[in-house]
Chains A and B, each alone.
Chain A
Amino acid sequence: MIGFLIRRTLQALLVLFLVSVFTLALVHLFPGGPIRSLLGPRATTQQVAFYNKQYGFDQPFYVQYLKWVGQLLHGNLGFSTKLNQSVTSLIAQDLPKTIVLVALGTVVSLLFGIPLGLYQAVKRYTTGDYVLTGISFLGYATPTFFVGLLLIEWFAIDIHLFPPFAPQGTTVVQILSQPRALVLPVIAYSFVLYALWSRYMRSSVMDNLVQDYVRTARAKGASERRVLWGHVFRNSLMSIVTLLGLSLPTLVAGAIFIEVVFNYPGMGLAFYSAALNVDYQVLLGFTLVATLATIVGNLLADVGYAVLDPRVRYS
């Protein structure tokens, strides 16, 4: 187990190194370099050269990289000249709100996806299964933002049941104090995720139902209920935990679109504004944080899986 942990952590560190090199390389992709994109097309060559020197962009890539990593290790992710705010404080302000959205959406989608996926597997090839399968396929093929648009049209414009905007405010408390405004964003966010979990749960349960241990349990005389909940359900849940750890990029993508559609004041919306303003420090800082979260998520998923399933450790 210790060996597995060490090996897996080293791999994660190597991935982290590659990502950080890649992220810094992105800075140099901006047309004319990062300073030119900051100062605009009317800046003189001398001005650009001056700031390039000041920010160290005239140095070799590896020097820039080392300096940048040094800054990162001190918690300095850069400074947004457009917002006159450090990227770290921007994240501190917006991340909790995004976590609220992502957590609510994930929990709601799991609450529907897991039981319904199980139901589908047990009652496979019945009308109920086909209907739910159709819904999942709709979830795969529908862009998140289109779900948001439809919900706004149906529930906010046509029948005025919920507001068309997400809750506004700078703190999590303010966001949570407007639960009615949270309903549509959370439903829209959950829909696509629901499709993912329920499909996965369905195939996972179906795989487990034909395993030897299920036959053994039945042979011992365990009731069908006990086989399903005591054996199959628990083993299927395990793979959902792993999938959850691997799904962070999907969760982030969903959050960006939902936040834009509903004007939800989280990291996704801030990232989008930064994209429109070419605020590259914010873009890179946010990307790095989201990537770090993904790597940690993957690591936790792997370790969690190894804890739950001893066979993995030795492969």
Chain B
Amino acid sequence: MAIIPPSADRSLMDTAVLPSETPEAIEGALAAAKPRSLLRRGWEVFAENRLALASLGMIVFIVLFCFVGPLVYHTDQVHTNLSETLCPPSAAHLLGCDNLGYDQLGRLMIGGQTSLEVGFAAAIVAVFIGTLYGAFSGFVGGPVDSFMMRIVDAGLSIPYIMVIIILSVVFHPDTVIMIFIIAVFYWLGVARLVRGETLSLRTREYVQAVKVLGGGRSRAVVRHIVPNAIGTIIVQTTFAIADSILILAGIGFLGLGVQPPATDWGDMLSGGLTYLQSGTNYWWLIYPAGIAIILTCIAFNFIGDALRDSFETRLQRR
């Protein structure tokens, strides 16, 4: 799994959509005076990117598949059915069954629920903590900043996967614990990025003005720094979702993830490994879950890239 160092480039096209002198662009420039226009203009640029829109459609489809699908396609995902162990795909079981007789299509849905829930929640928790930590550290500066960043360095020096494996062994995680186990690692990278952003934001006049007007540190951070770093934060959240889903899949694959009968996409793949190593080809144990992971993560990566372009365009228009 690729957890990309913050320094690495993740952009796809590197095509920043340039503003043209169309009426829409001028309207967008005028809207700058209104509050929340940042998000609205971001959306306008985003909507011009077909790949990103397709990815958004893909995410909506996958969410519906996982959460609405089980209401339409009824399967028993709690009790094992050993008479149908490893049955190949058929009319009754569209994607066959796994080694415990669970219907694979139904399992893909409930496994996807776990993957998506953990992915979203872990990303939000990690970005929330990382943003506050990074913004505070960068804003305060000096030795406090230096020490806070050394803590981040220390955390980032420990190969994350080892910590996550150890924590999973210790806690036998359910969904909620899994969210925090992933977030415990992931907020560090976010903190570093947001701190970098804060260093440049804190010298701006409007942040200085808060100080002059007698506003406290927390007010400057929460009301002025964080909203102006919102572009970075949103883009990071998108990538964090993809990464969290990958990490969860890895832990699930190792058999240390959520406990049965719950499952996730990675956990489903670990069954496939057992049978591949014995030399038999049960392809339906491998492809569905693997493709689900790839599609979801690619879609989130595309969306993240498009969002970054959107927010960068904002800077160009200024």
Contacts and interface: CB of A to CB of B under 8 A. Distances in A.
Interface of A: 11, 14-16, 18-19, 22-23, 26, 29-31, 124-125, 133, 137-146, 149-150, 152-153, 156-158, 164-165, 192-193, 195-196, 199-200, 202-204, 206, 243, 246-250, 252-254, 256-257, 260-261, 263, 271-272, 275-276, 278, 283-284, 286-287, 290-291, 294-295, 298
Given A145-B269, A261-B273, A278-B169, A150 B4 contact: no
26 contacts: A15-B153, A125-B13, A138-B294, A139-B2, A140-B297, A141-B293, A141-B294, A141-B298, A143-B1, A145-B1, A145-B250, A146-B293, A150-B286, A193-B2, A206-B14, A249-B158, A252-B159, A253-B1, A253-B161, A256-B161, A263-B277, A271-B165, A272-B254, A275-B165, A275-B254, A283-B166
Contact of A14 (B150, B294, B301): B150
Interface string B253-284: 11110000000001001001100110111010
B9 interface: yes
B267 to A, nearest CB: 12
B2 A30 contact: no
B7 interface: yes
Contacts of B158: 19, 22-23, 249, 287, 290-291, 294
Nearest to A263: B277
Interface in B148-177: 150-151, 153-163, 165-170
A271 B167 CA distance: 13
A250 B3 contact: yes
A291 B298 contact: no
Given A158-B281, A248-B159, A253 B3 contact: yes
Contacts of B153: 11, 15, 298
Contact of B276 (A31, A164, A250, A287): A164
B30 interface: no
A19 B154 contact: yes
A253 B10 contact: no
Contacts of A206: 14
Contacts of A141: 242, 246, 293-294, 296-298, 301
Contacts of A125: 13, 15
Q: Which 3 A-B pairs have the closest CB atoms?
A: A141-B297, A203-B9, A18-B154
B281 A153 contact: yes
Choose among B14, B159, B168, B283 the residue with the greatest number of A CB atoms under 10 Å from its CB. B159
Say what secondary structure dominates the interface of chain B. helix
Say what secondary structure dominates the interface of chain A. helix
Contact of B161 (A133, A199, A252, A276): A252
Given A153-B283, A200-B9, A243-B8, A249 B3 contact: yes
B5 interface: yes
Contacts of A278: 169
Contacts of A246: 5, 7
B12 interface: yes
B290 interface: yes
Nearest to A145: B253
Given A19-B157, A158-B281, A164-B279, A30 B170 contact: yes
Choose among A146, A152, A287, A294 the residue with the greatest number of B CB atoms under 10 Å from its CB. A146
B249 interface: yes
A250 B4 CA distance: 8
B276 A196 contact: no
Contacts of B9: 199-200, 202-204
Given A19-B158, A26-B166, A249-B156, A199 B294 contact: no
B214 to A, nearest CB: 34
B171 to A, nearest CB: 8
A286 B165 CA distance: 12
Contacts of A276: 169, 255
Given A19-B158, A250-B3, A153 B276 contact: yes
A271 B166 CA distance: 10
A143 B169 contact: no
A18 B150 contact: yes
B164 to A, nearest CB: 9
Interface in B282-304: 283, 286, 290, 293-294, 296-298, 301-302
A275 B256 contact: yes
Nearest to A26: B166
B218 interface: no
A31 B172 CA distance: 10
A144 B157 contact: no
B11 interface: yes
A26 to B, nearest CB: 6
A257 to B, nearest CB: 6
Nearest to A21: B154
Contact of B170 (A31, A149, A156, A254): A31
Contacts of B277: 152, 164-165, 263
B55 to A, nearest CB: 11
B272 to A, nearest CB: 6
B22 to A, nearest CB: 23
A271 B272 CA distance: 22
Contacts of B161: 249, 252-253, 256
B160 A249 contact: yes
Contacts of A203: 9, 11, 14
A291 B290 contact: no
Contacts of B11: 203
A155 B277 CA distance: 13
